[in-house]
Amino acid sequence: MTDMEQPEDIQNQTEETEAAEGSPTVEEQLETALAERDENQNRFLRSQAELDNTRKRHQRELAELRQYAAAPFVQAMLPALDNLKRAVEAAENADNVSDLKQGVEMVAKQILDVFAQHNVKAIEAVGQPFDPNRHEALQQMPSEEYPPMTVIQELEQGFILNDRVVRPSKVIVSSGPAGN
Amino acid sequence: MTDMEQPEDIQNQTEETEAAEGSPTVEEQLETALAERDENQNRFLRSQAELDNTRKRHQRELAELRQYAAAPFVQAMLPALDNLKRAVEAAENADNVSDLKQGVEMVAKQILDVFAQHNVKAIEAVGQPFDPNRHEALQQMPSEEYPPMTVIQELEQGFILNDRVVRPSKVIVSSGPAGN
């Protein structure tokens, strides 16, 4: 009986861990499992190293982008600056205020064009409902023309970059007809 | 002999895989190794997921930064634009070219100040050795004053952002004394 028990026991273990005949022994399975465990550990470590490198590269890229982000905008602004200097130089030799004025107006328009090319746009103000997210009310005044809480005058132009306010418009807001 | 071989064999295996008495059996070791293998696999998969998320977040951050990178520079430029408009408005009511000229010169200086605050600086030109990385030679001219390959005149001002050329200076370069 004891002679028979041993083989039976082994037979049972073999059936538990082996799917088919010719399948690996427990020792072989252990060897495989240890190799897989080590391989998985290595894959984990390589992945962690890659994560680390990715984060470092990310930081470098962000720093570089921040440092040079303004370059295209600066570059686009330079011709306006050139024209401003030219307008002043031309005025040296002329006593005509209207020529200089015209030159300067063109530069102002040029700057607004550069803004537009970089998705910077003036905020609509006069006639618009007062919007505290885009307008800064400096004053409220009666108005026959505009309903209450409508912008009636723009004191300083505001601008948005894409959907973000760069500077709100400084405005005067209607308090409705003076009689009310 | 066959009766004795079996126990001996088992004894040997036990010695091979166990370091001390009370140490785990091969089956227990297999169980541990499989658990560790699976745990390492999970750590690897979590690390890969984190790497994936990090890369996606990175892309979002870069896109956002690119989209809004010019905002501080635009914001800093706005007062110069305001002043330009004010100078023109003031000129409407005055016929004095020198007031407008002075106003416009101040705006040009204000723009250069904003540039400087954002690490944008004019490239030195006149009197400097010609540097093809920063200067663009439009012409070469004899000069008694400057040695050959020296910038003798700046036709258009160049600018650098940090150490990167935004626009090279357009210059005339000395070819040495006319007699040579």
| Domains in chain B with CATH codes | 120-179 (2.30.22.10)
With a cut of 60, say whether residue A8 has pLDDT above it.
no
Assess whether pLDDT exceeds 70 at residue A7.
no
Complex ipTM, two decimals? Answer: 0.72
Note the pLDDT of residue A115.
92
Mean of pLDDT values over A67-75: 88
A37 in reach of chain B (CB within 8 A): yes
Which residue spans within chain A are E strands per DSSP?
A: 120-122, 135-141, 151-156, 159-161, 164-167, 169-174
Cβ of A104 within 8 Å of Cβ of B88? The answer is yes
Core vs surface per residue A141-166: b (16+ CB within 10 A) or e: eebeebeeebbbbbebbbbbbeeebb
Q: What is the pLDDT of residues A123-139, one digit of tens each?
A: 999 999 999 999 999 99
pLDDT at B102 over 90: no
* B136 HSE (CA, 13 A, CB side): 12
Q: Taking the mean position of all CA atoms in its chain, how far away is CA B2?
A: 77
* Residue A62 in contact with partner chain B when CB distance is under 8 A: yes
Q: Tell me, what amino acid is at B91?
A: A
Mutate which of B96, B100, B114, B165 to test chain A, going by most A C-beta atoms within 10 A? Answer: B100
Look at B70 and A68 and tell me if their CB atoms are within 8 Å: no
List the 120-159 stretch of B: residues with Cβ below 8 A of A.
Answer: 120, 156-157, 159
Q: Do B73 and A68 touch (CB under 8 A)?
A: no
For residue B134, the tally of other CB atoms under 10 A from its CB is: 19
B166 versus B66: the higher-pLDDT residue is: B166
Prediction pTM value: 0.72
- Give residue B70's pLDDT: 86
